[in-house]
Amino acid sequence: MSVRKSKTFIEMKVSPHTQFDEEVLSRYDSLVNSYIAKIDKASNEDYKERTHNKILNDLRDEYRAIESTLKEFNQFISNIKDECGEDKDKKFETVFYEKFELLNSEGKQIVLTKLTQLAAINKMFGYLATESLKFRKSLYLGSELDTTGLNSEARTNLQWTGKSELEFVQLIYALHEARYLENDQDEITALVKQVAAAFNYKLGRNWQSNHSESINQRNADYESKVFEKLAKAYGRYRERLLNKGN
């Protein structure tokens, strides 16, 4: 894989959003090429795995270090996604440009450097998750091969007792969107499988397409029943405790 030559943002003569995406891809390519070179240099499988794990840990440290310097710009991208998610008529690139133009020079520099670094590292986490399958056979390989996603030593006694697969998936998506639940690569599909494995819950082969269809078939004001059930359940629990105190 060849590395894209990174241009300065002034040279690009394109929109800030396009500049952002191009820089993310350029940084990502560099990370992948560096990773491949280091893995190829390792003398055997054991050292390849050690190299892989060191690169992953170093990237985690780098991510945290960059994130700690972002100040108020930490939520720049997620705020745009939220705004577009709340109003289907808003386009990401348009909102990105509008908010970008309101930033001072320091803010623009942060968005087009530090945030692109974080986005590239996040993308790299996804790549490393795939590469991990070569080194750790106990990782989840898909419901066709391993319905739990964990080896026998790692399995828990936790059980998901809900009757609706759709409600299970909706709950995990909501927790991830609210940033209450994350994994290393910040990848929702893998996260759903990981949580299902932790709860010894077997996902159907078509869980992703069923979830997508449920979104497209619902009205705009549709709310999943699972969240109403949880709110009512906690309300009952709270009321029971309060009644005990009387």
Is the model more confident about 95 or about 1?
Answer: 95
The ranges assigned to domains in the chain are: 1-136, 141-246
Q: pTM score, two decimals?
A: 0.48
Of the listed ranges 18-22, 50-54, 164-168, 191-195, the one predicted with least confidence: 18-22
Burial status of residue 149 (CB atoms within 10 A of its CB: 0-12, 13-18, 19 or more): buried
For 167-199, how does the pLDDT look when each residue is reduced to its tens digit (9 = 90+)? 999 999 898 888 888 876 667 888 888 888 888
Residue 56's pLDDT is 87
**Rounded average pLDDT over 149-168:** 68
Q: 38, 116, 23: which is closest to 77 by C-alpha? A: 116
Is the model more confident about 66 or about 132?
Answer: 66
Half-sphere exposure in the Cβ direction for 9 (13 Å, CA)? 17
Q: Would you say residue 104 has pLDDT above 80?
A: yes
Residue 138's pLDDT is 37
C-alpha span between 31 and 8 (Å, rounded)? 19
* Average pLDDT of the residues of the chain: 77
Q: 12, 7, 129, 107: which is closest to 60 by C-alpha? A: 129
C-alpha span between 168 and 196 (Å, rounded)? 9
